[in-house]
Amino acid sequence: MKTKFLFFALLFTGFVSYAQQDAQYTQYMYNTINVNPAYAGSRGVTSIFGLHRTQWVGLDGAPTTNAFSINAPLGSNLGGGLSFVNDKIGPTNENTISADISYTIQTSETYKLSFGVKGTANLFNLDVSKLNPEQAGDPSLQNLDNNFSPNVGAGVYFHSDKLYLGASVPNFFETKRYSDNDFVVNKERMNFYFIGGYVFDVTESLKFKPAFLTKVVEGAPLQVDVSGNFLINEKFVLGAAWRWSAAVSLMAGFQVSDGIYIGYGYDLETTRLRRYNSGSHEVFLRFELFKRENKIVSPRFF
pLDDT at position 141 is 61
pLDDT at position 221 is 82
Q: What pLDDT band is residue 3 in, cutting at 50, 70 and 90?
A: very low
Q: What is the pLDDT of residues 193-218, one digit of tens each?
A: 999 999 999 999 999 999 999 999 87
Q: What is the CA 173 to chain-centroid distance, rounded?
A: 18
Strand partners for 287: 48, 260
pLDDT at position 299 is 46
Please give the C-alpha separations between residue 86 and each of 33, 69, 186, 236, in angstroms, as whole numbers: 15, 12, 17, 29
Phi, psi at 34, each rounded to 5°: -75, -20
Nearest CA to 237 out of 260, 262, 268, 213 is that of 262
Average pLDDT value for the chain: 85
Please give the angle made by the CA atoms of 160, 211 and 62, to the nearest 5 degrees: 130
Q: What pLDDT band is residue 66 in, cutting at 50, 70 and 90?
A: very high
- For the chain, give the percent of residues with pLDDT over 70: 80
Please give the angle made by the CA atoms of 9, 148 and 168, to the nearest 5 degrees: 85
User: Which residue type sits at 174?
Assistant: E
Check whether 185 has a pLDDT greater than 80. Answer: no
pLDDT at position 128 is 74
Which residues contact residue 229 at a Cβ distance below 8 angstroms, ignoring those fewer than 6 apart? 29, 208, 209, 211, 237, 238, 239, 251, 253, 301
Which of 25-29, 69-73, 180-184, 244-248 has the weakest average pLDDT? Answer: 180-184
pLDDT at position 21 is 57
Q: How many CB atoms lie within 10 A of CB 130?
A: 11
Q: Mean per-residue pLDDT for 250-258?
A: 94
Domains identified in the chain and CATH numbers: 4-289 (2.40.160.40)
Please give the angle made by the CA atoms of 31, 91 and 284, to the nearest 5 degrees: 20
Q: What is the pLDDT of residues 118-174, one digit of tens each?
A: 999 999 888 877 666 555 555 556 667 778 999 999 999 999 989 999 999 999 988
